[in-house]
Structure 1
Amino acid sequence: MTDPQLVERLKKAGVTALSDALDRLGIEGQAVGIMPVARTMRFAGPAFTIRMLPVGLTGGVVGDYIDEVAPGTVVVIDNDGRPDQTVWGDILTFVAHAKGVAGTVIDGVCRDSDRCVELGYPVFARGNTMRTGKDRVTADAYNVPVQVAGVRVAPGDWLVGDADGVIAIPADKLVAVLAIAEEIEAAEDRIRTAVAGGMRLDEARRAANYHSLQTRAAAQH
């Protein structure tokens, strides 16, 4: 069971501050090009990973794993960025939403996008199309390391998504990344307040020590 307070803190921090925190720690976790079906969609949770492969002569299925995904978990599907065959659609959205799954991230495309919008279930992908992945790809492995837009995601790593995209945080770095992201958000609040009170932006940034918050820690002097 995921900690609801932790989930809310991650959502509140948002992916831009979390991205800056990853940069400060020298972690490549930005899944560039993976975007929400609807900009209002947000999620945070640990990864349940699936690696897809071309079906070849083996047969296989695309989506029967959903019954094993725990509430609060994020389904992460590595379909190698394929733009011409979907690995997520109406039925998977319906079941995942009913089970309380946190969201779905696909390095590839989805379909039946109206259903996830209707239910408010977060789906993040490279796009959507109508062509099924059935008999084209198969779920080859579960809960193994995968990659999403060139970012390594291991089972249990945390993913956060909002209107600006998706980031992945290694499980053992979650506390450190979140603490830095919240520090950045607090500094930005101080900057906005100072500027609203008449201070120049460059002065407000210096006063908040803003530049150092976004600079890789090892490179700071």
Structure 2
Amino acid sequence: MSDQTADRARAIGTAGLSDALDKLGLPGAVPGIVPFDPRFSICGRAFTGQYEPVDALGGTVGDYIDDVEPGQIVVLSNDGRLDCTVWGDILTAVAKARGIGGTVIEGVCRDVADSLAIGYPVFARGRSMQTGKDRVRLAHTGRPVRLGSVLVHPGDVIRGDADGIVVLAAARADDVLDVAEGIERAEDSIRTAVAGGQRLDEARAQMGYHSLQTKAGAR
């Protein structure tokens, strides 16, 4: 099924989307979650999962992967824990085979070499060998989770590239994209002018470069 909003987001880098979010005064940029390979690029709708510490009642790290649709981005919150992982080689292999678009973790991942070997994109706060089994359990899927300070709802647009992760709330995604596309056009005009011999400061001034991202009414 076509998703024109995600297609539009895919054509713009996270830097441009972040500038548009600033312009509109919206959250969405997620510092510190980065790809294991800077060539990884993802864009799709969020499938969310939340982890919590295991207790005497036990529980598992979850077998949700068969419920994720092709093209969706798996967004997992382990509340930023660095001492145990919630993603590894088996999930990587299944996700790749199912055509899942990528994985974003508020926490860490293991079996990184497998992700790199088959080109499955994982974005995380780091890497560790220590399993999440007997340390955390899957609390729920399909509910809002946090990536840093950004709340991610199921169906939000997730865009990731070498610079990191941006979240576009589904209800405002098209508004953000309208602004981001305008910023892209302005920056392209600057590049064209400079390539034609114009001074950079003059080209930037003509296109209002230094305020392209400034929130309306804020100076």
Which runs of 5 or more structure 1 residues have no equivalent in the other structure?
A: none
**Distance in structure 1 (CA, Å) of the matches to 2:123 and 2:62:** 17
Q: Which runs of 4+ in 1 moved over 6 A?
A: none
Q: Residue 11 of structure 1 contacts residue 43 of structure 1 at CA under 8 Å; is this kept in 2?
A: yes
Superposition pairs of residues 50-65 of structure 1, within 5 angstroms: 50-65=49-64
Moved more, 44-53 or 204-213: 204-213
C-alpha offsets along residues 53-99 of structure 1, whole Å, 9 cap, x if unaligned?
00112222213000111111111001010011000000001111111
The alignment-based identity, stated in percent, is: 55
**Distance in structure 1 (CA, Å) of the matches to 2:24 and 2:31:** 18
**Distance in structure 1 (CA, Å) of the matches to 2:6 and 2:169:** 15
2:93 match = 94
1:137 match = 136
2:171 match = 172
Are positions 1:107 and 2:111 aligned together?
no
In structure 1, give the amino acid aligned to 2:151. R
**Distance in structure 2 (CA, Å) of the matches to 1:108 and 1:178:** 28
In structure 1, give the amino acid aligned to 2:218. A
**Distance in structure 2 (CA, Å) of the matches to 1:56 and 1:200:** 64
Superposition pairs of residues 1-221 of structure 1, within 5 angstroms: 1=1, 3=3, 6-219=5-218
In structure 2, give the amino acid aligned to 1:115. D
The alpha carbon displacement at 1:213 in A equals 2.2
Query: Normalising by structure 2, what TM-score?
Result: 0.95
Change (3 A) 1:204 1:103: same
Q: Secondary structure at the match of 1:217?
A: coil
Moved more, 186-195 or 101-110: 186-195
The alpha carbon displacement at 1:159 in A equals 0.8
**Distance in structure 1 (CA, Å) of the matches to 2:185 and 2:83:** 43
Which runs of 5 or more structure 2 residues have no equivalent in the other structure?
A: none
Task: Considering fraction of residues, name the structure with more helix.
Answer: 1
Q: Residue 54 of structure 2 contacts residue 137 of structure 2 at CA under 8 Å; is this kept in 1?
A: yes
Query: Normalising by structure 1, what TM-score?
Result: 0.95
Q: Residue 2 of structure 1 contacts residue 45 of structure 1 at CA under 8 Å; is this kept in 2?
A: no
**RMSD, aligned CA:** 1.4
**Distance in structure 1 (CA, Å) of the matches to 2:60 and 2:111:** 18
Q: Residue 160 of structure 1 contacts residue 167 of structure 1 at CA under 8 Å; is this kept in 2?
A: yes
Q: Residue 41 of structure 2 contacts residue 121 of structure 2 at CA under 8 Å; is this kept in 1?
A: yes
